[in-house]
Amino acid sequence: MKQTTTIILVVLSTLHQYQSAKLPTNFKKCDKGKPDFDKCLSSAIQDAIKHLNKPLAEYGLVSFDPYVTPNERTFVFGEEITGLRQKFSKFKISGFTNIKSTDARMDFVHKILYLDLVAPKLVCSFEYEAHGRMVLVPVEVVTEAAATLTFSTYLYIFKYNPEG
């Protein structure tokens, strides 16, 4: 998820910086010469994320709510011979387009975008497997599972090269 989030936000922030870029008509544009640019950018990014609840195919952007991993992503922890092997797969994340607050700060000199986001509720559903032993008890679990994150804060730092 973090890699996809990064890609989408880099695309959005880069598009907002350049007035000549073709943006969807419902995306807010900001003038980098105005003193309230960071405030405008914060609002524009938050608004743009809210519009990603459906795909924008003409811009190459997928739906962000729910976000479903595009291919099989599997994370495996531990090994069942000496303990417990856990496997997480088929991730689906809902709630990221309901951002509560966005604070964007653009450093044009060093070409860095700092972005703080707060999401009031994210629901992550996935398939979960566990195989092995806990102390002496054998464990064999295969199930669907979910985790709810409340008021999660995300800090992203993007370095960019506007020339390409």
**Is the pLDDT confidence value at 58 over 50?**
yes
Domains and CATH numbers, the chain: 2-159 (3.15.10.30)
- pTM, two decimals, is 0.66
Over residues 1-37, the pLDDT tens digits come to: 444 444 444 445 544 443 344 667 778 888 888 999 9
**Is the pLDDT confidence value at 78 over 80?**
no
**Is the pLDDT confidence value at 79 over 90?**
no
Residues 6+ apart with CB under 8 A from 143: 127, 128, 129
Residue 106 backbone phi and psi in degrees, to 5: -105, 125
Cα–Cα distance for residue pair 5/96, rounded to 1 Å: 10
Q: Which pLDDT value is given to residue 6? A: 44
Cα–Cα distance for residue pair 45/106, rounded to 1 Å: 12
138 preceded by cis ω (within 30°)?
no
Confidence of residue 150 (pLDDT cuts 50, 70, 90): very high
Pick the closest to residue 84 from 130, 128, 126, 129 (CA basis): 130
Residues in the chain: 164
Confidence of residue 130 (pLDDT cuts 50, 70, 90): confident
